[in-house]
Amino acid sequence: MNFKKNILCIGAGYVGGPTMAMIASKCPLYKVTVVDINKDKIREWNSDNLPIYEPGLDELVKKIRDKNLFFSTETDKHIREADIIFVSVNTPTKTFGQGAGKAADLQYWEKTARQILANSTGSKIIVEKSTLPVRAAEAMDRILNTKNDNIHLEVVSNPEFLSEGTAIADLENPDRVLIGAKQTPEGISAGKEIVEIYSHWVPRERIVESNVWSSELSKLTANAFLAQRISSINSISALCEKTEADIDEVGHAIGMDSRIGPKFLKASVGFGGSCFKKDILNLVYISQSYGLTEVAEYWESVVNLNEWQERRFIQNMVSNMFNTIAGKKIALFGFAFKSNTGDTRDSPAIYIARGLAEEKAQITISDPEALANAKKDLSDMEENIIYERDPYKAAEGAHAIAVLTEWDLYRNLDYKRIMRSMVQPAFIFDGRNILDHKKLFDLGFNVFAVGKAPMKQF
Ligand SMILES: NC(=O)c1ccc[n+]([C@@H]2O[C@H](COP(=O)([O-])OP(=O)(O)OC[C@H]3O[C@@H](n4cnc5c(N)ncnc54)[C@H](O)[C@@H]3O)[C@@H](O)[C@H]2O)c1
């Protein structure tokens, strides 16, 4: 079949895979190829067991794979063939040198840019899909256009706003798609080509065009605002615990104010995931590098509050379990950073498992999708941890349960049965406020929820 355009995506991760699957399914005349340096990942994308779990992803990929969606490791070849290249490689926080602990590590992005340059025999549009610091496109532009030939590689910013766990629904029906292009004839024309792709299914009024720098900064700012709301409600949750106000009642009351809105007002053990912390620290670093100390400190406090909330959760567990959890079995319900994903990157559960292990608790971790990743995250603690998919078995003989991920599964368990199988007095720490606390208390549990008065049997 003769395709209208060849699209390539470099990076077959949580963003590259689902995003390209959606583009391929909505644009049957475009050939979409996704490449990655990780051969195992590509093998999995081509198999029955995709490398990531996302509701609806399996069906979507299997419908179009090998029709106009392809997964490959032959990056150089596909760069040569591509008209449009999305770059969706990871941009983690730098762990070394200047900016360590805050700045984005751009080594994967830069390597990709150089590889694109080395293999390009014609002009192309290069799309920043990865989240990058403001003005990263400028640096990329310099690298990509160092050859003195007639090839022009135009950089366009198109940050991704999907949320893991609802990625397919978000991609199918996005609040907005943002496309940042340079305000030059080449930039404007490249921007239009990207608009054309999304116009296949996204209403035109939801496709927002801006300059490149606004687009880059909007992505960092969106994540910073979302995380800030979580830290804000979590800060109030601590006050609720001291005053017997109820965080769900407070969240409901303030969320009815149309200026505030009801979303992202649920108190919890803290936010996780590969993006919020990394992107805020990136914003902090950029602000610092422009001498904007107050701006940097303001955003850094969002991350600090989150870390404090995680620590507070552990301290609460220890102090309420008679100041010692040494030798006590504790079942963690959930390890993924949120429900409906197997992703555990920066999950609060990692920090909490480590904190409880330091107190010498015996930990059993249960999660429907994230156990493989949990094992990798805690690989240095193998002998101290048991992994058990079945929550009933995980809770057997435990002194306490800590709910760390808001999986629906945990709402509807037979807690009477669980209670009977636990050591008495039995404790439950609901780090996501998803359980029926009154019912659990009536069954005999000591119940501790975030931002609520404790319900103790003694
Ligand atoms: N995960 C999310 O929910 C999300 C949402 C929006 C934006 N983002 C941003 O999107 C980007 C990608 O995130 P992700 O979660 O998909 O990361 P990921 O780690 O899941 O995937 C990145 C992939 O890029 C591959 N890669 C790295 N260097 C490569 C190279 N030179 N050639 C080919 N492949 C290469 C890696 O092997 C990996 O498979 C990040 O900048 C992230 O901040 C992520």
pLDDT digits (tens, 9 = 90+) for 275-328: 999 999 999 999 999 999 999 999 999 999 999 999 999 999 999 999 999 999
Burial (CB < 10 A; 0-12, 13-18, 19+), residue 212, is buried
Quick check: 209 pLDDT over 90? Answer: yes
Which pLDDT score is estimated for 149?
A: 76
pLDDT, tens digit (0-9, with 9 covering 90-100), for 332-377: 999 999 999 999 999 999 999 999 999 999 999 999 999 999 999 9
Quick check: 14 pLDDT over 80? Answer: yes
Alpha carbon of 110 to ligand 1 centroid (Å)? 13
Mean pLDDT (whole number) for 83-104: 95
Highest mean pLDDT: which range of 113-122, 138-147, 294-303: 294-303
Mutational test site, ligand 1, from 22, 38, 89, max ligand atoms within 8 Å of CB: 89
Residue with the larger pLDDT of the pair 399 and 384: 399
Does any ligand 1 atom lie closer than 6 A to the CB of residue 341? no
Quick check: 11 pLDDT over 90? Answer: yes
Neighbour count for residue 396 (Cβ, 10 Å): 17
Mean pLDDT (whole number) for 67-81: 98
Confidence bin at 382 (pLDDT 50/70/90): confident
Superfamily of domain 5-210: NAD(P)-binding Rossmann-like Domain (3.40.50.720)
Mean pLDDT (whole number) for 237-248: 97
Q: Which ligand 1 atom sits nearest the alpha carbon of residue 17?
A: 16
Q: Whose CA is nearest to atom 39 of ligand 1?
A: 13
Which pLDDT score is estimated for 147?
A: 76
Alpha carbon of 10 to ligand 1 centroid (Å)? 9
User: Is 211-458 CATH 3.40.50.1370?
Assistant: no
Average pLDDT of the chain is 96
Does any ligand 1 atom lie closer than 6 A to the CB of residue 302? no
Does any ligand 1 atom lie closer than 6 A to the CB of residue 171? no
Alpha carbon of 408 to ligand 1 centroid (Å)? 28
Mutational test site, ligand 1, from 90, 110, 114, max ligand atoms within 8 Å of CB: 90
pLDDT, tens digit (0-9, with 9 covering 90-100), for 249-270: 999 999 999 999 999 999 999 9
Alpha carbon of 173 to ligand 1 centroid (Å)? 22
Quick check: 150 pLDDT over 90? Answer: no
CA–CA separation, 411 vs 314, rounded Å?
A: 22
Alpha carbon of 34 to ligand 1 centroid (Å)? 12
Does any ligand 1 atom lie closer than 6 A to the CB of residue 131? yes
Active site residue 27: no
Which pLDDT score is estimated for 135?
A: 87
Start and end residues for every CATH 3.40.50.720 domain found in the chain: 5-210, 211-458
Does any ligand 1 atom lie closer than 6 A to the CB of residue 37? yes
Does any ligand 1 atom lie closer than 6 A to the CB of residue 45? no
Quick check: 458 pLDDT over 90? Answer: no
Mean pLDDT (whole number) for 86-91: 96
**C-alpha closest to that of 297 among 282, 310, 287:** 287
Which pLDDT score is estimated for 35?
A: 98
Could you give the C-alpha distances from 333 to 105, 268, 345, 367, 407, in angstroms and in order? 33, 14, 17, 6, 9
Does any ligand 1 atom lie closer than 6 A to the CB of residue 215? no
Does any ligand 1 atom lie closer than 6 A to the CB of residue 108? yes
Which pLDDT score is estimated for 2?
A: 87
Quick check: 426 pLDDT over 80? Answer: yes
Does any ligand 1 atom lie closer than 6 A to the CB of residue 111? yes
Q: Which ligand 1 atom sits nearest the alpha carbon of residue 52?
A: 20
Which pLDDT score is estimated for 322?
A: 97
Q: Which ligand 1 atom sits nearest the alpha carbon of residue 131?
A: 41
Mutational test site, ligand 1, from 10, 15, 85, 280, max ligand atoms within 8 Å of CB: 15
Rg over CA atoms, the chain: 24
Residue recorded with tokens 């590889």: 115
Confidence bin at 384 (pLDDT 50/70/90): confident
Does any ligand 1 atom lie closer than 6 A to the CB of residue 79? no
Does any ligand 1 atom lie closer than 6 A to the CB of residue 12? yes
Residue in 9, 27, 240, 275 annotated catalytic: 275
Alpha carbon of 91 to ligand 1 centroid (Å)? 7
pTM across the whole model: 0.96
Does any ligand 1 atom lie closer than 6 A to the CB of residue 87? no
Alpha carbon of 52 to ligand 1 centroid (Å)? 12
**C-alpha closest to that of 269 among 200, 225, 315, 329:** 315
**C-alpha closest to that of 346 among 270, 274, 269:** 274
Does any ligand 1 atom lie closer than 6 A to the CB of residue 38? yes
Neighbour count for residue 323 (Cβ, 10 Å): 8
Mutational test site, ligand 1, from 41, 85, 88, max ligand atoms within 8 Å of CB: 88
